Structure formats: structure tokens, C-alpha cells
Amino acid sequence: MEFSFVLKQLRDERGLSQKDIAEHLGITRQAVAFYELGKREPDYQILRRLADYFGVSIDYLLGRVHCKEMNAVTIGKNIDLIREGMSFKEFSQDISTKTGTLIYPELLELYCKGEKVPYIGTMKILARYAGIRESFFYIHNTIEGYQKEKELCRREYELAAVQSIRTTTPEAEIADLQIKQWALQDENIEYIKLAKEIKEAELKPSVLIPLIESVKNSRKV
């Protein structure tokens, strides 16, 4: 959408007249009419005052993004979280390596500072790069929240992968995949460490079967 259309749409939604807008900006009603007709482009100061007046971002006014509630500062802080301390050049290179898409370091810096809102397509690329959902960028987050989001998305992806192959994968392969899923869970780390010690002690799994059966039977009593 163009600025002229967005401005008129916002004005109509709030039941305002061109005169109302003009008085707030300190300009003539005719100037507002020219904006809405696309006959005149506003300068940065006018754009900033309009954005504050309507409670939207400048990028929304210019038709570059579709979500009114987008907060450039919030988005920027979240992009800075996924940067994880890399320089902007390193960040750009890492994104390019992992997604095959180049986002220039200068742009990434503007995003992180909240001075520019990424296009929707860029947001999708950043989400794919970080292994998170796009919705992550639009709310306040912390390092801990970022780590939890990545873990949640990883597990959702793995679960979807398991479900998608159950109807086509032989039982042995499914069992092998289930074991891999189990091994990835944090609560099973101690079992994995124990298995490693058993292997290093050169004990055969069959030696432990009587012990395991004994424990099982004692629990049933």
C-alpha cells in the first residue's frame, strides 16, 4: 500500500477530518489533501509526527510493513538477541551461510538499533536462520526466552518429522529415530552417561538384563 492510501485509511478508521490532521501537524488542510491524493510527499518530520499521532511505525505509514503494532525497537532488540554477540559483518556472513540469503551488515545494524523495520520477507529469513517463529520478534524477550523458543521450535520440528515418516518408514528405522529423539531430551542425559560408562567398562548389555528385570519385578510387588 502507498502512503496516500494508508493515511486516508487511518484517518477514516478514527473518524477524523483532513482539518483535524492539518491542525495537529500545523499545516494546511490542502496539504493533507495532497498527501492523500498522492500529489505531495511528506518530509521525515511530518512522517514521524503522523506515526506518533496514529500510534504506528513510519514503515507502516509508508506501506512497507502490514502490522500496525510493529515496534521497531522491540524487533531490533530481538534481532540483536539472535546476533549473539557477533559483529554485524560476522552476523551477515553467518546468515548468508545458513540461509543462502545476503543481508548487508549496514542493514542489520539499523535493524538492531530500531532505526529500520525489516521487510516481511526479511523477517522470515531471520526466523529461519535462528530456528524460531516469526512471532518471537514482536514481543519483549530475554536471552532465556530466546533459548526456550529455539528449544521449543526444535522439538516441534522433530515431532513433525517423526509424524511425517511413520506411515512410510520401516519399523526398525522408526525405532532408531525414537531412540535419537529420546537421547536429545535433557532429562535423559544421566542415562546416556551411564551407558557410556558401561561401554567403557566393556560390559555387554545382556549382563544387565537380569538386574533390570529384578528391579522391574520388585516394583510390581
Q: One digit per residue, pLDDT tens: the chain, 221 residues?
A: 589 999 999 999 889 999 999 999 999 999 999 999 999 989 988 998 998 888 787 878 887 766 665 577 788 999 999 999 999 999 999 999 999 999 999 999 999 988 888 888 899 999 999 999 888 887 778 899 899 999 988 888 777 766 665 555 555 555 566 666 666 666 777 777 777 777 777 777 777 777 777 777 776 65
Q: Locate 178 and state its grid cell.
A: 525414537
Q: What is the pLDDT of residue 136?
A: 87
Whether residue 56 lies inside any domain: the answer is yes
Structural domain includes residue 201: yes
Residue 66 inside a domain? The answer is: no
Number of domains in the chain: 3
Both 155 and 211 in a single domain? Answer: yes
* Together in a domain, 165 and 122: no
**56 and 90 co-located in one domain:** no
Predicted local distance difference test score (pLDDT) of residue 173: 58
Are residue 157 and residue 101 in the same domain, yes or no?
Answer: no
Asked if 167 and 133 sit in the same domain, the reply is: no
Question: Does residue 137 sit in the same domain as residue 180?
Answer: no
Domain for residue 67, yes or no? no
Question: Which triple of cell numbers denotes residue 49?
Answer: 509526527
Domain boundary among 117, 141, 165: 141
Do 9 and 45 fall within a single domain? yes
Do 80 and 128 lie in one domain? The reply is yes
Q: What's the pLDDT at 154?
A: 86
* Domain extent at residue 197: 151-220
Q: Which three cell numbers stand for residue 98?
A: 545458513
- What CATH number did the domain enclosing 106 receive? 1.10.260.40
Is residue 54 a part of any domain in this protein?
yes
Interatomic CA distance for residues 30 and 142, integer angstroms? 47
Which residue from 23, 18, 13 is spatially nearest to 54, judged by alpha carbons? Answer: 13
Last residue of a domain, one of 141, 176, 201: 141
203 located within any domain: yes
Contacts of 53 (CB under 8 A, 6+ apart): 21, 24
For residue 146, tell me if it sits in a domain: no
Structure pTM?
A: 0.48
Distance between CA atoms of 33 and 146, rounded to whole angstroms?
A: 45
